[in-house]
Amino acid sequence: MTTTPVLEAVDETLETQSRPPLNVIYEWLTTVDHKKIGLMYIVYALIFLVIAGFEAILMRIQLAIPNNHFVSPQVFNQLFTMHGTTMVFFMGMPILFGMGNYLVPLMIGARDMAFPRLNAFSFWISAFAGLLLYFSYIGGSGLYAAGSAPDVGWFAYAPLTSKVFSPGHSTDYWTLAVFLSGVGSIGTALNIVTTILCMRCKGMKMSRMPLLPWLYLVMSGIVFVAVSPLTAAQIMLTLDRYLGAHFFDTQAGGSAILWMHFFWIFGHPEVYVLVLPAFAFANEIIPVFSRKAMFGYPAMVAASVSIGFISLSVWAHHMFTAGLGPAGNTFFVFATMVISVPTGIKIFNWLATIWGGKIIFAVPMMFMIGFLFQFLIAGLTGIMLAAAPFNWQLSASYFVVAHFHYVLVGAIVFSLFGAFYFWYPKVTGRMMSETLGKWHFWLFLIGFHLTFDFMHVPGILGMPRRIYTYEAGRGWDTLNLIVGIGAIFQAAGTIVLVYNMIYSYFKGKEAGHDPWDAWTLEWSVPSPPPSYNFAIEPTVSSRRPLWDLKHPEDPDSDYE
C-alpha cells in the first residue's frame, strides 16, 4: 500500500476570486489552464446545442403536418444543413473535447495538458469556426434575402457544392468553418495523445490507467486518421471552386464518388470519435453507482482499440446505394457487421459490472441506464442497416435518421448528461439538484422516445430524409406529429438542465472532495481543483487509487 494521493492543495483559487471583473475576463481570454479551456469548450458547445436544437424544433414544426408552409424549402434545407453541421462539429466534438480537456489530466495525475498554448489555440480556432459558420446568415452573398447559410447538407455531397450548383458563398462558409474546426480538432487530438503517453503520474502504467483516458487516446488516434482526409477534401473543394480544379466538378469530368469516399472515410469514424467518449463516461460512472470494479478492464481496452481500427474500414456502408457492385458491397457488409462484436463485448461488460452490485439510482446513473438501453437499440438497428439489401430500402430514409439519433442523442447525449451531473460537483464545488435532475431525465427520456422511436416507422413507410414537406396519404402524418411533440419534451428537459446548472452554481449543496465515494484521482483534489491540480504529484499503485485508500483490507492492486 503505497498510494498517497494528496488531499490538500494550495489555495490558489482564492486569489482569482478577489480580482476585479475585467481582470477575470482577461484571465479567461488568455488562460492556458486545461480546466478553464475545458469549461470554455463546454459552454460554447452548450450554446450551439441550444441553437441546433432550436433548428431541429423548427424542422419538426414544418414536418408535423403534410403540405405545411411554415418555412420555405430554402430555409428548411439551410436548417438541416446547419443543424447537422452544428451538432457534429460545434456541439459534439467541442463538448467532448472540453470534457476530455478537463478530466484527462486530472485522472492521470498530471498538472496540465502537454502543450497548454496549443490547447488554447485549438479552442479559439474552433470557437472562431463556429462563429464563422453562423456569420453566413448575415454575411452571405445575399443570394437569399436572409443571407446565405449553407444548404448542401452536413455531408456536402459533390457536385451539389460545385460553383455551378452552389453559386454565392454559402458553401464556402461551410467549407471554411468545418476546415478550421478540423484544425482545432487535430491540435487537441495531438495534445491528448501526448499528454496521456508522456504525463501520467508515478506508478500509472498504461495497464493501470482509468478507462476514460484510454478511450480518449483511441478517440484522438481516430481524429488524426479521419479528420485529415476531410481537411484534404475541403482544400480540394476550394481549389475546385476558386482555382478551376476539377476534383469534384462533375460538369468538367470530376468525380462525385471521390467526394463520397473522402467524406465517409472521415464521416464514419467520426461517429466513433463522438461515441468513444460517451463510452468513457459510462466506464467511469456505472462502476461507481454499482459499487463495483469495472468488469473485464483488459477486454474493454482491447474492444475500444479494435473498434478504433475497424471503424476506419467500414466507411462505404454509407454508399451501399451508390453502385459499388456486389464485391464492394459484401466487403463492407462484413466489416460493418464485425464491429458489432467488440461493441457487444462492451455492453455485456457493463451488464456484468452492474450484476451483483448495489445499484444507486442517482441522476448520473439514471442517464447511464438510458444510455445502455438506447445504445443497445442503436446497435441493433445498425446491424439492420449493415445488411445491404435491407439498407437499399432504408438508407436515406427516416429510419436512418432514427438510427443515428439513437446513437447521437440516445447514447452520446444521455451519457454526456450523466457525466454533467457526475462531475459538476468537482468543477463547481456544488452538487446539482437531484429533483431538477430527475425532471430533466424524465422529460428528456419521454421526449427522446416519442421523437426517435416513432421516426423509424415513416422510414419503413418510405419517407425519405431531407424533405421539407410531404403529401398526405402516405401514412406519415400522425407519426410525424408525434415526433414533433417529442421534440418539444426534449427541449423542455434541456431547459431544466440549463436552469439546474445555473441554479446549483449558486444554491447547490456543498460537494466536498468526493461526493460520490468514487475511486479515481480527480476525486482526491479539492472541488474545484486548484490551478495546478496536484500540490504534490500523486503516486498510484492500482487502477483505483482511492479504493485502495478506503479499503486497505482489500486493495485493487492484488487483482491486476
Partner 1 sequence: MSLLTGTAYAQSPTNIFDPAGTPARSAFGLSMLVLSITLVIFLIVAGLLLYALIRFRHRPTDSNREPAQIYGSNQIELSWTVIPILIVVTLFLTTTRVILGTEAIPKPASALDVTIIGHQFWWEYRYPKSGVVTANELHVPISDPASPTPTYLTMSSADVSHSFWIPRLAGKMDLIPNRVNTMWIDPEATGLYLGQCAQYCGTQHAKMLLRVYAQTPQDFAAWLDQQNRPAQKDFPGNAAATEGQAVFMKDACINCHAIKGTVATGRFGPDLTHLASRDTIASGPIQNTPANLRRWVDDPNSMKPGSLMPAMHLNDHDLDVITAYLSQLH
Which residues of the shown chain bind ligand HEM in the complex (CB under 6 A)?
A: 53, 56, 59-60, 80-81, 83-84, 87-88, 91-92, 153-155, 401, 405, 408-409, 413, 451, 465-466, 487, 490
Binding segment for partner 1 (CB under 8 A), chosen from 9-17, 250-258, 414-422, 530-538, is 250-258
Nearest to 460 by CA among 439, 445, 438, 475: 475
Least separation in angstroms between residue 536's CB and partner 1 is 28
Three-state secondary structure call for residue 113: coil
255 binds partner 1 (CB under 8 A): yes
434 binds partner 1 (CB under 8 A): no
168 binds partner 1 (CB under 8 A): no
Per the document, the length of the chain is: 560
390 binds partner 1 (CB under 8 A): yes
User: What distance lies between CA 553 and its chain's CA centroid?
Assistant: 39
Least separation in angstroms between residue 163's CB and partner 1 is 13
| 43, 97 contact by CB (below 8 A) | no
Least separation in angstroms between residue 275's CB and ligand HEM is 10
From candidates 66, 116, 139, 153, binder to partner 1 by CB under 8 A: 153
Least separation in angstroms between residue 242's CB and ligand HEM is 24
Would you say 295 or 375 has its CB closer to ligand HEM? 375
Taking the C-alpha atoms of residue 406 and residue 37, their distance in angstroms, rounded to an integer, is 29
User: How many other CB atoms sit within 10 Å of the CB of residue 361?
Assistant: 10
User: What distance lies between CA 392 and its chain's CA centroid?
Assistant: 28
Taking the C-alpha atoms of residue 374 and residue 350, their distance in angstroms, rounded to an integer, is 14
Please give the grid coordinates belonging to residue 374: 438506447
Least separation in angstroms between residue 56's CB and ligand HEM is 4
From candidates 223, 354, 419, 445, binder to partner 1 by CB under 8 A: 354
553 binds partner 1 (CB under 8 A): no
The answer for residues whose C-beta is within 8 angstroms of residue 206's C-beta and 6 or more apart is 200
Would you say 436 or 460 has its CB closer to partner 1? 460
From candidates 65, 256, 535, 549, binder to partner 1 by CB under 8 A: 256
Residue 114 site contact among ligand HEM, partner 1, none (CB < 5 to 8 Å, cut-off depends on kind) = none
Residue 92 site contact among partner 1, ligand HEM, none (CB < 5 to 8 Å, cut-off depends on kind) = ligand HEM
Least separation in angstroms between residue 377's CB and partner 1 is 7
The answer for residues whose C-beta is within 8 angstroms of residue 59's C-beta and 6 or more apart is 76, 79, 80, 83
Residue 409 site contact among ligand HEM, partner 1, none (CB < 5 to 8 Å, cut-off depends on kind) = ligand HEM
478-511 residues labelled b (16+ CB within 10 A) or e (exposed):
ebbbbbbbbbbbbbbbbebbeebbeebeeebeeb
Please give the grid coordinates belonging to residue 359: 445499484
Least separation in angstroms between residue 77's CB and partner 1 is 6
507 binds partner 1 (CB under 8 A): no
551 binds partner 1 (CB under 8 A): yes
Would you say 96 or 275 has its CB closer to partner 1? 275
Least separation in angstroms between residue 66's CB and partner 1 is 11
From candidates 461, 492, 535, 549, binder to partner 1 by CB under 8 A: 461
Please give the grid coordinates belonging to residue 24: 477575470
Residue at 352: amino acid letter: A
Taking the C-alpha atoms of residue 398 and residue 458, their distance in angstroms, rounded to an integer, is 6
394 binds partner 1 (CB under 8 A): yes
Please give the grid coordinates belonging to residue 309: 481500427
| Residues in region 283-322 near partner 1 by CB under 8 A | 290-293, 295-299, 321-322
From candidates 225, 232, 347, 485, binder to partner 1 by CB under 8 A: 347
Least separation in angstroms between residue 181's CB and partner 1 is 22
157 binds partner 1 (CB under 8 A): yes
Taking the C-alpha atoms of residue 374 and residue 189, their distance in angstroms, rounded to an integer, is 28
Please give the grid coordinates belonging to residue 175: 467549407
CA atoms within 13 A on the CB side of 450: 20
Taking the C-alpha atoms of residue 188 and residue 223, their distance in angstroms, rounded to an integer, is 9
Closest residue by beta carbon to ligand HEM? 84
Residue corresponding to grid cell 476550394: 238
The answer for residues whose C-beta is within 8 angstroms of residue 406's C-beta and 6 or more apart is 374, 375, 377, 378, 381, 452
123 binds partner 1 (CB under 8 A): no
Least separation in angstroms between residue 112's CB and partner 1 is 32
384 binds partner 1 (CB under 8 A): yes
